[in-house]
Amino acid sequence: MNQSTKARVIVLDNIAEEGLAKLKAADNIDFDIKTGLKGEELKAELANYDGAVCRSGVKITAESLEGNKKLKAIVRAGVGTDNIDKPAATRLGIVVMNTPAGNTVSTAEHAMALLLGLSRNVAPAMESLKAGRWDRKKFQGSQVAGKTLGVIGLGRIGQEVSARAKAFGMKVIGYDPFLTGERAKELGIAKVEEVKNMLPDVDYLTVHTPLTPETTNLISHDEVKQLKQGARLINCARGGIYDNEALVAGLESGHLGGVALDVYPDEPCTDNPLFQMDNVLCTPHLGASTDEAQVEVAIEAVDLMINYLSTGEIRSAVNTISLDPKTLNKLRHHLDVAHRMGRLLSQWHGGAIDHCALEFQGELAEVDSRSLVSAFCAGLIGHISDEANIINSEMLCRERGIEIVRTANPDHSTFSSMISASVSGDGVKRSAAGTLFGKNMPRLVKLDEYQTETFMDGNLMVFDHTDVPGIIGYVGNLLGEAGVNIGQMAVGRCSENSGGRAIGVLNLDSTANEEVLKQITENEAIQSADIIKLPAIKELPEWLS
């Protein structure tokens, strides 16, 4: 490649020399290092480059990408891509990739360092020594062996922290919506079904989840009160998972024994009120800052960039799919069906899933079904992972111990193509089948053993009942009184005759609250009523739109 066709890459944060050396050696790439950019300056620079490599320092906002016609890829040397506006990048056709595993161990070690440092007053004892005092009494600490650690989020880092805590003789209690009983047993972790169930029992609590709407302020004032007196809290994941004000209040009241943070809601952060308080140990986002992790993520990030700019290969993408345009056009609406089925089955099952079986029938038996499996997986775990998309979702499922089995069956009895799926875990199995009516209308045609014909659209209410007269009217009246309009309705039963078990599936214009669902199940012929939330019919996930 001659000089004029070379791709241009900008490195926006400091990355390890080993990564820079690879960029230097790439003969089809020119690169510049420009750190500390923001605002108009960042926007102007980004407009001149084909690729950008960063860590978490630079904030690549929608404004900084606005009107950018040149940038093709952003690679994050690290895990969290919350400093990059992914919807804005996607809209501009910019691939965002990350390096998820390179800093796992370093971050787990940092969480342990904070846990131990907090327990043994390492930082204040050093300060006191520096000030010329020999105070052994004041800094008496607590032993961690025999204590209980609560871990919220048992992905890559959470699992490594658990293993290390166990090696220190701690008992570990864990919560992660995707942790099955079996996997918890393998990890030697006592699993709880809800965060609040572990709070009264833990001496230490550590969080290792992404920052999502569900995890923002996950531990706030009420949760702090439920914690054991003297509990110590650690956060090496993302600022905002603990409510900062609740931490301050918990320390002031003496209910919390200590707080250790590596991450903050707004970074860089130098004026958090916690920094002035006793029993607090804080570091400036150092979890991944080891020589080893930085070399690993820098090399991986640069490899991703070089491969993408040289061959178009996309790996570890967090905002796009790896399909070529022709295949995407052919499969787009089937991918939508598969994604909706994943969303539906994760809610219909409602618990931890460790096995999925997918069968592609009719015409779909003839295509490469990997992207359909990925679309299903993206639906299945979309509500717990902010990274899940068609590129990475199957890997994320497998990393969480979910076994995925796919089969193809060219027979098509009723529909020219159909996707049948079942999910199981913790002794519960749920299944469904979906198809396309016409070219682009996703329909649910089976739910468990019931045949149905339901629009896979918006809020569904599913009620399991005995097939006796009056049930539909009863449900309709209660929804009507609650101001909930029914858009569509389907009923299905297992046998030909009335009096057996049946299912009703309603498409509601707005969702029914818990109170209405409770009233519905007060009828003794109705065994259950559940809400399943699906995207509205034309609403496609970011990676499919």
Q: Which residues bind ligand NAD (CB under 6 A)?
A: 79-80, 100, 103-104, 107, 152-158, 175-178, 208-210, 212, 214-215, 236-238, 262-263, 285, 287-288, 384-385, 400
State the binding partner of 157 from ligand MLT, ligand NAD, none, CB within 5 to 8 A by kind.
ligand NAD
Q: Considering just the CA atoms, what is the radius of gyration of the chain in Å? A: 26
Which region, judged by CB under 6 A, interacts with ligand MLT, from 77-85, 226-234, 340-348, 420-428?
Answer: 77-85
Of 9-68, binders to ligand MLT (CB under 6 A) are 55-56
| Token pair 């930085």: residue | 294
Q: Is 252 exposed, middle or buried (0-12, 13-18, 19+ CB in 10 A)?
A: exposed
Q: How far is the CB of 102 from ligand NAD (least distance, A)?
A: 9
Residue 239 binds to ligand MLT (criterion: CB under 6 A): no
The residue type at 434: G
Contacting ligand MLT (CB under 6 A), which of 207, 288, 302, 456?
288
We find the least distance from the C-beta atom of residue 76 to ligand MLT, in angstroms, to be 7
Q: Which of 64, 103, 206, 322 binds ligand MLT (CB under 6 A)?
A: 103
Q: How far apart are CA 175 and CA 192, in angstroms?
A: 6
- Identify the residue among 19, 29, 43, 80 touching ligand MLT (CB under 6 A): 80
The set of catalytic residues is 238, 267, 285
To the nearest whole angstrom, how small is the minimum distance from the Cβ of residue 94 to ligand MLT? 19
Size of the site for ligand MLT (CB under 6 A): 8
Phi/psi at 204 (5° precision)? -135, 145
Token representation of residue 444: 């649910």
Q: How far is the CB of 82 from ligand MLT (least distance, A)?
A: 8
d(CA 543, CA 375): 10
CB of 103 to ligand MLT, least distance (A): 5
- Between CA 61 and CA 84 the distance in angstroms is 6
Spell out a b/e string for 261-275, using b for 16 or more CB atoms within 10 Å of the CB, else e.
bbbbbeeebeebebe
Number of Cβ atoms within 10 Å of the Cβ of 511: 14
User: Which of the listed partners (ligand MLT, ligand NAD, none) does 178 bind, with a CB threshold of 5 to 8 Å by partner kind?
Assistant: ligand NAD
Of 500, 507, 494, nearest to 448 (Cα)?
494
For residue 403, give both structure tokens.
Answer: 């076994």
Residue 356's identity, in one-letter code, is C
Using the contact rule CB under 6 A, the part of the chain among 74-82, 146-154, 212-220, 317-325 near ligand MLT is 74-82
- Closer CB to ligand NAD, 255 or 383, in the complex: 383
- Decide whether 20 or 482 has the Cβ nearer to ligand MLT: 20
Nearest-approach distance from CB 262 to ligand NAD, in angstroms: 5
Residue 158 interacts with ligand MLT (CB under 6 A): yes or no? no
Q: Find which of ligand MLT, ligand NAD, none residue 55 binds, CB within 5 to 8 Å per kind.
A: ligand MLT
Residue among 55 and 72 whose Cβ is closer to ligand MLT: 55
Select from 38, 74, 37 the least CA-distant residue to 54.
Answer: 74
CB atoms within 10 A of CB 22: 17
- Residue 217, classified by CB atoms within 10 Å of its CB into exposed (0-12), middle (13-18) or buried (19+), is middle
Element (H, E) at 259: strand 256-261
Q: Which does 281 bind (CB under 5 to 8 A by kind): ligand NAD, ligand MLT, none?
A: none
89 binds ligand MLT (CB under 6 A): no
Which distant-in-sequence residues (6+ apart) come within 8 Å of 435 by Cβ? 337, 415, 417, 418, 419, 442, 443, 445
Binding residues for ligand MLT, rule: CB under 6 A, are 55-56, 78-80, 103, 287-288
